[in-house]
Amino acid sequence: MKLKNMITAAVAGLVLSACSNDFLENKPQGIISDGNMNDPEAVDLLVNSAYATFGCRYADSNDPHLFPVTNWSYGEVRADNAYKGGGGETDLWEVHDMETARINPDNGFLDGKWFNVYCGISRCNSAIRALGNVDEDVIKEKNVRIAEIRVIRDHWYFELVRLFNRIPYMEVGLPESDYPSVRNDEFTREQHLARIAGDLVDAAKVLPESQTETGRINRRIALAYAAKVKLYQAYEQDPQTNMVVNINKGLLKEVVELIDRVQGYRLLDDFQQLDLLEYENGPESVFAIQFSKDDGSGGVGRVNWSMLLNSMTGPGCPWQGDGFFLPSQDLINAYQTDADGLPVFDYQSMPDYGKVVFSEDGEEYTLENVGGCVDPRLDFVTGRPTIRYKTYVEAPCGLWVRNSDVYGYNNTKRFWLSPESKEATHGWPWGASALNWQIIRYADLLLYKAEALIEIGGDGLEEARRLINRVRQRAMNSAYVRDFDDPSKYAANYKIGLYPADGWNQDYARKALRTEMRLEKAMEGERFFDLVRWGIAKETMNRYFEVEKDNRIYYGNASFETGEEYFPIPVAQYNFSGGIYVQNPGYPAF
């Protein structure tokens, strides 16, 4: 049985103290108490309630789209990969401020994210406390279940560190009434990351190599996540400027060792299989949020509500959504390749690739500047006008953007099933399906290991080249998008090559790795966090604003300043703490 089908019953049937008295909107069917804690079914409810935190549906049944677990706003729109989209600049102005680097502590989408994540942590802590009182001779998997919950809790703490830097750490045994008294400056970023990574490694010692239920956390997940956290920890930052001041090679060696211990995975054969249900728990999926549809939980089921706003819209569009989360022109330009099929690192000096041009009467449109070579992942990730949209046969992708005057004409293909799929919802919520959200996939591990080897330097550079080329080889071998009108042709001049050994030094390898990370993982919610880890957020974002302001006039006054690598501590949380929280550097003190 899939774990995601078990979680539904748990959420409605459990009461735990977490966040507020109206923590769960569903009417509870029972209460976990000391009297039934040795009941295996009660234990399952506790554990599944922790897994259910990935749904992020606590105080408001519709809030995941505003505070998404996918980080589409926090990690992609805030970076150079995506525009907010939607109806215009004032439509979800909170995300517009993220996009234009105008973040203030009173932004409600920061407070909502903080609240939701700490709700998840609180629920995990409650479950760990309760399980600690269970008799192990009755519940033989007690320690395994606690280890699973610890991994979930570590995921949430890692999210908080990446988003807010200065965060309070709530001990498992701390009563919720004492939460406001915990300071947010007790530990540094590096100390938080060290604790998270250490806890993941410890959990791995208890967890089995694999689990019988699909989606349940195992040892390999814990090790893979520990490697990711240590990779971040290795880039040591100045606490006042957030700039990288040292790269700890000892920690990077631990990253390599941890990833080498994660066995049993491989890349899917075709990049586009990442968005097909039959492959969602396949050989590339290391750690995924399990979603389900028509599972008996009410409505369409436990679908990915974080994507609620993001389906495309417009004349002829098979779905009529809200049109948020659109790929930037800069991202599209970044997929350009040279005659050898290698990325063009200085693509920003070139004209925009594939811009829409209308006829004089405005009735017809074509794409201009499409003669050059592009990485085939361009049309696996983005939906461009005139280009085939997955396997949809009624029409090619059209002008399916809600406000094209502001945001252009490109939309997203990743994370959606093809519109004609019987597994996709054809009413509200538009396009929703049971497709999982991948937190870590095997391609990530290959690139994390390559990154660590490059920064270590020396003999590992050659292995890093081979790892990056494995990811590129998969893209090369994938089935390219065909021309809609003439399927005997490709939709673009696709060309992708492998990096040769000649000229492969540390500086070039670093550029290659960072480019590959962007192209392979575009729109997956990670881009901004990568830029901060590498210490290049300010230079990258200001260059992006300068290049893109001719396309997006609202970038005219955008400027990224030192200290904005992390969000400000929300003012509502400062008030909750009774004034003991300390604001992050780069923002006015409370």
- Give one DSSP letter per residue of 311-356, joined into a string: S--STT-S-----EEEE-HHHHHHTEE-TTS-B-TTGGGSPPSSEE
**Residue 497 pLDDT > 80:** yes
pLDDT at residue 184, rounded to an integer: 97
Instruction: Evaluate whether residue 423 is within a structural domain.
Output: yes
**Residue 2 pLDDT > 80:** no
Instruction: Evaluate whether residue 88 is within a structural domain.
Output: no
> Looking at 66-70, 74-78, 218-222, 231-235, which range is the least confident one?
66-70
- For the stretch 122-160, pLDDT in tens is 999 999 999 998 888 888 899 999 999 999 999 999 999
Q: Are residues 254 and 311 in the same domain?
A: no
Mean pLDDT of 180-184: 95
**Residue 20 pLDDT > 60:** no
Q: Are residues 360 and 257 in the same domain?
A: no
Q: Are residues 570 and 533 in the same domain?
A: no
C-alpha count within 13 angstroms, C-beta hemisphere, residue 411:
31
Q: Is the pTM of this model over 0.85?
A: yes
Q: Which amino acid is at 176?
A: E
- Give one DSSP letter per residue of 461-472, joined into a string: HHHHHHHHHHHH
Mean pLDDT of 26-45: 61
Instruction: Evaluate whether residue 480 is within a structural domain.
Output: yes
Instruction: Evaluate whether residue 538 is within a structural domain.
Output: yes
Q: Are residues 387 and 494 in the same domain?
A: yes
Domain holding 486, by residue range, is 307-546
Listed residue (487, 320, 480, 331) closest to 398, CA to CA: 320
**Residue 61 pLDDT > 50:** no
pLDDT at residue 11, rounded to an integer: 42
pLDDT at residue 489, rounded to an integer: 98
Residue located via tokens 């990690």: 75
Give the tokens for residue 356. 């829409």
Instruction: Evaluate whether residue 389 is within a structural domain.
Output: yes
**Residue 562 pLDDT > 60:** yes
Mean pLDDT of 470-497: 98
Q: Which residue has the higher pLDDT, 298 or 555?
A: 555
**Residue 4 pLDDT > 70:** no
CATH code of residue 337: 1.25.40.390
**Residue 509 pLDDT > 70:** yes
Instruction: Evaluate whether residue 525 is within a structural domain.
Output: yes
**Residue 272 pLDDT > 50:** yes
- CA separation for the pair 122, 23 (Å, rounded): 11
- For the stretch 413-462, pLDDT in tens is 999 999 999 999 988 889 999 999 999 999 999 999 999 999 999 999 99
Mean pLDDT of 340-355: 97
**Residue 330 pLDDT > 90:** yes
Q: Are residues 484 and 402 in the same domain?
A: yes
Q: Are residues 488 and 522 in the same domain?
A: yes
Instruction: Evaluate whether residue 94 is within a structural domain.
Output: no
pLDDT at residue 175, rounded to an integer: 87
Using alpha carbons, list the distances in angstroms from residue 359 to 14, 224, 365, 367: 60, 52, 6, 11
Q: Are residues 457 and 503 in the same domain?
A: yes
**Residue 27 pLDDT > 50:** no
pLDDT at residue 25, rounded to an integer: 32
Instruction: Evaluate whether residue 465 is within a structural domain.
Output: yes
pLDDT at residue 427, rounded to an integer: 87
Count of structural domains, the chain: 2
Please check whether residue 510 is in contact with residue 388, taking contact to mean a CB–CB distance below 8 angstroms.
no
Q: Are residues 510 and 401 in the same domain?
A: yes
Q: Which residue has the higher pLDDT, 16 or 115?
A: 115
Strand partners, 412: 382
**Residue 10 pLDDT > 60:** no
Give the tokens for residue 229. 């956290």
- CA separation for the pair 285, 201 (Å, rounded): 20
Q: Are residues 365 and 514 in the same domain?
A: yes
pLDDT at residue 65, rounded to an integer: 87
Q: Are residues 255 and 330 in the same domain?
A: no
505 CB-contact burial (10 Å; exposed 0-12 / middle 13-18 / buried 19+): exposed
pLDDT at residue 21, rounded to an integer: 30
Q: Are residues 534 and 570 in the same domain?
A: no
Q: Are residues 369 and 426 in the same domain?
A: yes
